[in-house]
Amino acid sequence: MPPVDFRQSQSDIDSGHPAIHCNECQSALQSDSQQAVSFLLLDQLTIPIVSCDDHLERFASVCGLTTEDTATLLDHRPAGGICCPGCRLARYNAAQPMVPVEEGAIVAMACPTHQTEIVQRFHTGLETQHHLSSDVSSL
């Protein structure tokens, strides 16, 4: 077991936070520069997300399991902008809940509605992935 990192205590508002063991996620989540923001396009959703590249891709690919289309990641604001005014105004702060992705984490900088929606997609995707991988192992 890796030692628990107590440097995360700043974001301890929601005490359910697991420790992040990915250094790149940590530095992405701790920097408040807007540069670290990527945009996940999934169906009609456009969700600004902060994480490291690896875990961003993991998150996007798991979310992509819940759609017939593909989940697209942009490292810049999409040309059409963000339709939802709540998401457009969302800012990264310590109160935004983190979503654990393997040993890292992502923060969706969206309005509460879309934040819930994308997190649900992610959990649905994880279940799908779980079923897929257990199918493979039972062969």
The answer to whether the Cα torsion of 55, 75, 42, 89 is positive or negative is positive
Closest Cα to residue 128, out of 72, 71, 74?
Answer: 71
Give me the 53-72 binding string for Zn ion, x by CB under 5 A, dash otherwise. --x-----------------
Residues 6+ apart with CB under 8 A from 114: 45, 47, 84, 86, 87, 108
Residues 89-128 within binding reach of Zn ion (CB under 5 A): 104, 111, 114
**Alpha carbons 100 and 81: distance in angstroms, whole number:** 27
Closest Cα to residue 109, out of 43, 34, 48?
Answer: 48
Which residue, 5 or 131, has its beta carbon nearer to Zn ion?
5
Residues 28-47 within binding reach of Zn ion (CB under 5 A): none
CB of 56 to Zn ion, least distance (A): 8
In angstroms, the Cα distances linking 111 to 36, 98, 124 are: 18, 14, 20
22 binds Zn ion (CB under 5 A): yes
Which residue, 4 or 136, has its beta carbon nearer to Zn ion?
4
Which residue in 29, 52, 71, 108 binds Zn ion (CB under 5 A)?
52
The single-letter code of the amino acid at 103 is E
Which residue, 55 or 121, has its beta carbon nearer to Zn ion?
55
Residues in contact with Zn ion, total (CB under 5 A)?
A: 11
**Residue ranges in contact with Zn ion by CB under 5 A:** 22, 24-25, 52, 55, 84, 86-87, 104, 111, 114
